[in-house]
Amino acid sequence: GAGVSQSPRYKVAKRGQDVALRCDPISGHVSLFWYQQALGQGPEFLTYFQNEAQLDKSGLPSDRFFAERPEGSVSTLKIQRTQQEDSAVYLCASSLARDRGETQYFGPGTRLLVL
């Protein structure tokens, strides 16, 4: 079956622009995670959804970052007034349920470059 997909794969933005990154999780997966991955680092947690409910957004670095999953499937991560420090790969992952032993399935990521 289809895996997690993300779009766009690459995005170049001018400083101050708003961007929207899309994630299509595996059908039927309850949990959805967003991560930020800087070059040479591991994924850093941003936010977590269980169905349409955003249960944890403690990793969002500022109020310029906003995520939603209105129907419990597709999710969008929006970054307003982008800054150069926002340049990173943004990863989306989904899992069947919220459980500490549950495997996460990752998308290919969106590479964001802010000039």
Select 3 or 16, whichever has its Cβ closest to other proteins: 3
Our CA dihedral for 66, 17, 26, 38, rounded to 10 degrees, sits at -90
Is residue 2 involved in binding other proteins (CB under 8 A)? no
Residue of 1, 27, 28, 42 that binds other proteins (CB under 8 A): 42
Residue of 18, 81, 98, 113 that binds other proteins (CB under 8 A): 98
Q: Which stretch binds other proteins (CB under 8 A): 11-19, 60-68, 72-80, 90-98?
A: 90-98
How far, rounded to the nearest angstrom, does the alpha carbon of residue 23 sit from its chain's CA centroid?
A: 7
How far, rounded to the nearest angstrom, does the alpha carbon of residue 85 sit from its chain's CA centroid?
A: 16
Q: Where are the alpha helices (DSSP H) in 4-80?
A: none
